[in-house]
Structure 1
């Protein structure tokens, strides 16, 4: 059944990510989802069938619909985040199929950072493993609104209800400790298609939704009017044409909230105020613009504004600070240590910083905090204290996923070291004594 343009315009958009351990069947699930929902083009299916025959397989390997990189096909694993776009008459979807290897957990941070739902797969034969707990912790840290547990390969455990119930109970209890408000558990066989798009006749004891039904019906709110309005400035536009000799616009993508013509705004970190005299959207003037739209703001006053500044409503100005405490997921092979000199990128602004302290590291087995580990290695989750060279207007991550997040960068080669969430924590770490003055002047 095809979906018309008119139908698409009336549907909502859901961004979701898949995660799980190696060989849990993430790519097969996504391939089955695309295939059974008739979202695969004929040439794509033909290419998958050809690749499957070359591997000696009699039936199409639907995992290849997402494992698009040649290296991934050769290894039979997903080593990068594979994005796919599809639609049904009820909803449009952007999915991110993230890798399962421990060393690629960092990619899940990328895939889930903008997701509204995360599907975490578990092999019914293995149950909840460390990587399952790691993915659940990341989903909780990133405040993904919805978490679905897909207990896969039920065909290999004879579709036993007791196996599914035990895994669902263990995972739900763990997720609850992380602060995940609700988990929807679904028993599936991605290979056979059980409970992916169509209900399974092999599990008549299960009365819940299929994976696609859950994706189509989970509540998604795109009403961001309650969010703090934020516009990180990306570019200053000064065409200096005969038609517009005095045009000066401040372009960027609205990170949260909305802006209106006539509204009084403040530019950070300088703190200067002005009034919005116009908003240009796709070359047209508009009276109001909102989250995710890329716009150009025009101000009544001639203010010194450049890339990296943040425009906010004057009645909702965040505090600026040079001391940031956050929970981070370390994504680089190089360890993050106390005293590490880094660059911190917040919105469109990048400034020098130093890691002043690492108060704790999260132990995934029991969610305890290991105090003062001294360093974080790849895929570790922990608390850090950072001192920046210049004040930053950082929101708390719980208030804004966009302006409450940041990344730490290696100044030597530009490598991304760490992804951070301002103010987030699983539990309050022990008080930490400030270290001695190390001679840094910020």
Structure 2
């Protein structure tokens, strides 16, 4: 790695350590919106006009002059009227140590697809558990809610690195440490079964502000960091920088072909790896070889570029390349797939129809596709896979999909950007499924 590439690499990594994208997830009324409101309020991330609008809101869910912090993210009128989160609300705030982008996602099972949308770009997830809803048996048993398990499963499938387990509403159980310990133990056992690794439990009361930005006096038995300190300390490193070069072509830019100095550039975003002038690439799915002549940005020519940068690549060769093609490392090229094996989360109220054709959108490429087989359906509660003959809303399953044109893809657990896709209904144009490509068992 030359000095300039190394410097760009370190600068990009440093930028990503400075920004954390996280989501809140849990069941209905677990306090997700209130928690985010408390984070923003206590960290001085709310403007005066927002505060005034919240205090005058007609759909407040508090008594007297107490501010309803959940209104900060429940922006739709239907959300305020019903007291539930429907859409994904993104909020930005910063502390002296870090910048944050928060996605407040719905807890209702009906809106799981919205949770998947928010989770797809997250570095961390806060799984909220309402202590008043967890069933604690006299025999020591603990029964977690299905939505808690569902959202944890989605977090695992989407490869979210950090999981914060926020045991909320501790004020409703008089801040009893025994209750907290039992819930954390039960979740840890489920997380181990699921395969989640980085689990950070924390007791809190979002409504009272205990352990959100400042330590709660009622939780003196907890000596760990507050939630904001925990979020500030999480390491965020995009492993895509270490992976082989991947560049889905988004647009082909040309000057007038009659000019003497004809120009043909391939525009897009580098999804993985790095590229330098003179590098040898392969064009997928055609398999042609190419050499990087120049790397252009709005600021001029670059000798090299890394993952996350949007650039225009010029090649020495004159090749037939169009939107949806992939420029990739010639030494470690992506796998060409006509049959895709993937885990999918079904997002449509219309069940899967094996007789129908769907559009599969992968990076910048869209191809006709058909789900040929449902291999197994994942049981959220037991984490066991079983045979199934159909898929309905919120089901998670391993499926096989035939595509009309080959996809240049990677396993999702290696490169997220080139291992993810969505399925689109060709009639309604609605997104019906989100998928993660698995190459281990994929027929080639």
Q: Indicate the SS of the match to 1:48.
A: helix
SS of equivalent to 2:147: helix
Check the 8 A contact 2:410/2:439 in 1, yes or no.
no
Aligned to 1:31: 37
Aligned to 2:5: none
Note the C-alpha offset of 1:370. 1.9
Whether 1:360 and 2:367 are equivalent positions in the alignment is: no
Q: Please tell me whether the aligned partners of residues 343 and 409 of structure 1 are also in contact (alpha carbons under 8 angstroms).
A: yes
Are the structure 2 counterparts of residues 394 and 35 from structure 1 closer, same or farther at C-alpha, using a change threshold of 3 Å?
A: same
Partner of 2:65: 58
* Residue among 71, 80, 89 paired with 2:87: 80
| Residue 11 (structure 1) shift | 6.5
Q: Give 1:241 shift.
A: 9.3
The one-character-per-residue Cα deviations of 1:126-150 (angstroms, maximum 9, x if unpaired) are: 1220000000000000010010100
Counterpart of 1:114 in structure 2 is 121
Contact kept in structure 2, 1:353 and 1:388, CA below 8 Å: yes
In the TM superposition, what is the alpha-carbon distance from 1:205 to its structure 2 partner? 0.8
**CA distance in 2 between partners of 1:25 and 1:93 (Å):** 19
* 2:335 paired with 1:328: no
Q: Is this contact kept in 2: 1:52–1:59, CA < 8 A?
A: no
Residue in structure 1 matched with residue 112 of structure 2 by the alignment: 105
CA contact (8 A) 1:11 1:90 kept: no
Match of 1:289 in 2: 305
Deviation larger for 222-231 or 286-295: 222-231
Residue in structure 2 matching 1:179, options 188, 195, 200 = 195
8 Å contact kept, 2:16–2:238: no
Aligned counterpart, 1:49? 55
* 1:332-351 pair list within 5 angstroms: 332-351=348-367
- How many Å apart are 1:113 and its aligned residue? 0.8
Pairwise CA distance, 1:288? 1.6
Give the secondary structure class of the aligned counterpart of 2:219: coil
**Structure 1 residue 187: deviation in Å?**
0.4
1:225 Cα shift? 2.6
Paired with 2:439 and 2:262, the residues of 1 have a C-alpha distance of 44
1:408 aligns with 2:423: yes
The DSSP-based 3-state class of the residue aligned with 1:366 is coil
Pairwise CA distance, 1:70: 2.2
Instruction: Judge conservation of contact 1:331–1:379 (CA < 8 Å) in 2.
Output: yes
Q: C-alpha displacement at 1:13, in angstroms?
A: 0.8
Matched, 1:418 2:407: no
TM-score normalised to the size of structure 2?
0.90
- C-alpha displacement of 1:245: 3.7
**Conservation of the 8 A alpha-carbon contact between 2:374 and 2:389:** yes
In 1, the alpha carbon distance for the partners of 2:55 and 2:413 equals 45
What displacement does 1:243 show? 9.2
Which stretch shifts more, 282-291 or 242-251? 242-251
Q: Which of 98, 102, 114 does residue 95 from structure 1 map onto? A: 102
> 1:200 is matched with which residue: 196, 211, 216?
216
Number of the residue aligned with 2:6: none
Matches within 5 A, 1:376-391: 376-391=391-406
- Deviation string, structure 1 residues 11-50 (Cα, Å, up to 9, x no partner): 6111111101010000000000011011111111111112
For 2:317, the equivalent position in structure 1 comes to 301
> 2: distance between equivalents of 1:90 and 1:34?
15
* Length-normalised TM-score, structure 1: 0.91
The question of 1:126 aligning with 2:133 is answered: yes
Gaps of 5+ in 2: 1-13, 135-143
- Determine helix, strand or coil for the equivalent of 2:114: helix
Q: Where does 1:4-19 land on structure 2 (aligned, <5 Å)?
A: 12-19=18-25
What do residues 52-77 of structure 1 show as CA deviations (whole Å, max 9, x unaligned)?
68666421111111112222122221
Give, in whole Å, the separation in 1 of the partners of 2:353 and 2:49: 50
Give CA deviations for 1:162-191 in whole Å, capped at 9, x if unaligned. Answer: 111111111111111111012111000000
- Asked if the contact 1:322/1:389 (under 8 Å) is kept, the reply is yes
Secondary structure at 2:296 match in 1: strand
- Cα distance change on mapping 1:69 and 1:248 into 2, 3 Å: same
